[in-house]
Amino acid sequence: MKFDIVEPGPDEPAAPAQPVPDDPPAREPVPPSALRLRRASEYMHLRARTDLTRVRSALNQMLHTVEADRAEPSTPEEPEHFRPGAFRSRTDRRTP
């Protein structure tokens, strides 16, 4: 596709020129390394505390589940279709 360059005529106003900025936009100054290290350390401690709180909660739930299971009396029940005689040796089966 070809495009022709069209110059504005004498009756048409020219587009206003965009000012070219001399300096790029100012950026925030980089904090000193000691400050960055302190911020990283604080963030690490915050994450560790948060993770430990979550782990404690999960462990407390597991402990509650285990203690509740231990509190119930456990009586071994034989299944309906269990035949203990099926597991005897053949010599034991012949002897009544």
- Per residue in 21-37, pLDDT (tens digit) is 666 677 777 778 888 89
pLDDT of amino acid 31: 75
Summarize the confidence of residues 3-9 as an average pLDDT.
76
Query: Which residues, in sequence order, are CB contacts of 31 under 8 Å at separation 6+?
Result: 39
Judge whether residue 3 has pLDDT over 60: yes
- Per residue in 53-83, pLDDT (tens digit) is 999 999 999 999 999 888 877 677 777 787 7
- 22: number of CA atoms within 13 Å, CB side? 0
Per-domain boundaries in the chain:
33-69
Nearest CA to 85 among 72, 94, 76?
94
Query: Which residues, in sequence order, are CB contacts of 15 under 8 Å at separation 6+?
Result: 8
